[in-house]
Amino acid sequence: MNRILFLLLLPALIFSQETLTDLSLNPKLLNVDWSSNSSKPILSLPFIDDFSYDSPLVDNDLWEKSSVFVNRTYPINPPTIGVATFDGLDEYGLARDFSQSSLSAPSDTLLSKTIDLGGVDSAYFLFFYQPKGIGDQPQVSDSLILEFKDINGNWDMVWHNICDTVINDFRKKVIILKSSDYLASSFQFRFRNYATISGNFDHWHIDYVKLDEFIAPIDIVELNDMSFVYNSPSFLKRYSEMPWTHFLNYEMSELKDSIDIILRNNNASINVDYQYTIFEYNNPYYYYPTSGPRNESVLDYDLTGNFSFTNPPIDIQSNVFTSFQTSDTTTFIIKNIINTAPSDNKSNDTLNHMQNFHYYFSYDDGIAESAYGINVNGAKLAYEFKLNRPDTLRAVQMYFPQMLDSVNDIDFNLTIWKDINGMPGDTLYSQTVSPVHSTNGSFHTYYIDRPFRIVGTFYVGWEQNTSDLLNIGFDKNNEANQYMFYNVGSGWNTSAYPGSWMIRPIVSQDAIISTISEKREYSRIYPNPSSEIIMIETQACSNVSIYNAQGVLVKKLRTSIPITGVNISDLSPSVYFVEIISKDERRCQKMIVE
């Protein structure tokens, strides 16, 4: 039995209920720009890359070739925030060979630029590595390899590691370079991996790659670096994102009392100043602490492990988010900063978090590390959401990642339930739809054909008509299990898998009544679909906002003429929403960019 079939069938044979499946591609790499603008053909020492930049691509100034995925979501307890992940996918996030489903084959390469080691008597090469993390466990036949290029252009394997199930934390590897074969002006190194190349399998993560002159033994012991470890958490108690109008006036119940930021001291100075600043529309208006940076003593990781802001915690005040917005949507940027010693690596000392308040409720962070399904005909999946005021449900967004076993033609019943004693109760709404798989990480929007009012707690999900795995996107970094229910015929149960389904109900600030089509329509957009220009026909003095499928504002304008042309050539092909607000109407229309 090949690996793909085994992965699809084994969970079903064991549990015959809930199933997590590895992804077949990585949408974060599908639409990235691989063009290099580097102006550094030859590098000098030191060479340092800790992959702390918030981009899926490596730094073009340091690397000549790469097919790895830079991320913050797959590793467990990295030395510094961000890693380079090796898997079975190519540089565009696609499987290299769907037919290669059992044997390990060459996959990713991370090749450095030329580094001048001429005139150096001795150098050291240092890096950290971890298999799996929260990803897929490499098989025994898989490996991670490090190679050095000698003065004759030959590649020598200087280190390799096969899968070791004992490894949980990152391990450090140090190699001393003394041979004249490597200590030359044309030195290069590369990492490569062997993996199952038919999907997003067999993960290896590397962090903090450093090459420098070897002067004293202390050089290979101390990184002399303080760093953030994980992304900043949401300030919201329940959701990762929610509509602004459901947050406003309910700050005390929706905000966490405090957040925790994790730091790691890699043999650096123990004195650290921490603060965060909140921005709205690039304007700073809130500071923590209000009296200046908070000073902490962060001891070395080898002595005490990671540092956690728990005594006292990082408090969150009820007025931390202030806005003059009256619509559902606004965004705040929270900039976390640590001030460390001058010798500390500064690239990992700033951590940004976008706290979005959009039209939808969300538990997930928008990134799927796996796919979730139930392999029982008639199974039900229900996701709990809670409103702070009555509202109108107008659509539901779901993210179905593209899988090898496509189920685009399999219908299911999109279902909304009311709440009865903390469990899904009577059905409020049901509509037969089918999964729409995404290859670019975007959610598909299912419009409610008869928008209706909802109050209090409700549940969003589906009822299956077959035993096929529908495979909804699954975020492993944000746990919402207490709100995730499934029913395979014997009653509702809480999901056993830590994480969150990528399902988001969209509510409207204003009531949408079933007779809306009978109202006079003052506005329209055309042509639709389009790829370059759309014409917006509307009343004078209207505000026009264009949102992508995730509810992120991508364009905004104000028009005072009857017909306005808008250039959309800079928008990626996808589904967008055009919201037009005037004195007499508020209208939202779907727009397709080809």
CB 3 within 8 A of CB 22: no
Compute the distance between CA of residue 406 and CA of residue 371 in angstroms, rounded to an integer: 13
Rounded Cα distance, 476 and 499, in Å: 4
Is the Cβ–Cβ distance between 191 and 206 less than 8 Å?
Answer: yes
Judged by DSSP in three states, 262 sits in strand
Dist CA 269 CA 267 (whole Å): 7
Which distant-in-sequence residues (6+ apart) come within 8 Å of 64 by Cβ? Answer: 111, 112, 113, 114, 188
Residue with tokens 């957009």: 525
pLDDT value at residue 1: 30
Distance between CA atoms of 296 and 298, rounded to whole angstroms? 6
Name 359's Cβ contacts closer than 8 Å, sequence gap at least 6: 243, 328, 329, 506, 507, 508, 547, 551
Q: Which domains does the chain have, with CATH numbers?
A: 32-219 (2.60.120.260), 228-357 (2.60.40), 370-508 (2.60.120), 520-593 (2.60.40.10)
DSSP 8-class letter at 165: T
Q: Which residues of 167-204 are buried (b: 16+ CB within 10 A; e: fewer)?
A: eeebebeebebeeeebbbebbbbbbbbbbbbbbbbbbb
| Residue 468, CA distances (Å) to 12, 271, 373, 411 in order | 11, 55, 8, 10
Q: Rounded to whole angstroms, how far apart are CA atoms 140 and 164?
A: 8
Q: Which backbone phi and psi does 7 adopt, to 5 degrees?
A: -65, -35
- Transcribe 65-107 into DSSP letters: EE--EEESSS-SS-SSS-EEEE-SB-TTS-BS-TT--SS-EEE
User: Are 142 and 163 within 8 A, CB to CB?
Assistant: yes
How many angstroms separate the first and last alpha carbons of the chain? 41
**Beta carbons of 180 and 219 less than 8 angstroms apart:** no
159 closest CA partner among 143, 145, 138, 173: 145
160 Cβ neighbours under 8 A, 6+ residues apart? 143, 144, 145, 146
Instruction: Calculate the CA dihedral of residues 223, 288, 362, 570 and round it to 10 degrees.
Output: -80
Predicted TM-score (pTM) above 0.75? yes
Instruction: Note the pLDDT of residue 518.
Output: 32
- Tokens found for residue 348: 């990992």
Nearest CA to 429 out of 408, 413, 440, 411 is that of: 413
Q: What is the H or E stretch that residue 10 is in?
A: helix 3-14
Q: Walk along the chain (594 residues) and give the pLDDT tens digit of each residue.
A: 344 433 443 443 344 589 999 888 888 887 676 666 666 789 999 999 999 998 899 999 999 999 999 999 999 999 999 999 999 999 988 888 876 767 899 999 999 999 999 989 999 999 999 999 999 999 989 999 999 999 999 999 999 998 766 667 899 999 999 988 999 999 999 999 999 998 899 999 999 999 999 999 988 988 999 999 999 999 999 999 999 999 999 999 999 999 999 999 999 999 999 999 999 877 899 999 998 899 999 999 999 999 999 989 999 999 999 877 667 788 999 999 999 988 888 889 999 999 999 889 999 999 999 999 999 999 999 999 999 999 999 999 999 998 866 677 799 999 999 999 999 999 999 999 999 887 677 899 999 988 999 999 999 999 999 999 999 999 999 999 999 999 999 999 999 999 999 999 999 755 433 333 333 345 678 778 888 778 787 765 777 888 776 667 788 887 766 667 788 888 988 878 787 776 655 566 778 888
Question: 506 — phi, psi (to 5°)?
Answer: -105, 125
Helices (H), 174-283: 244-247, 251-254
Q: Which two tokens stand for residue 503?
A: 């399902």
Ordered DSSP codes for 380-428: EEEEEEE-SS-EEEEEEEE-EE--SS--TT--EEEEEEEEETTEEEEEE
Q: Dihedral of CA 238/242/243/249: which sign?
A: positive
CB 108 within 8 A of CB 96: no
Model pLDDT, residue 394? 93
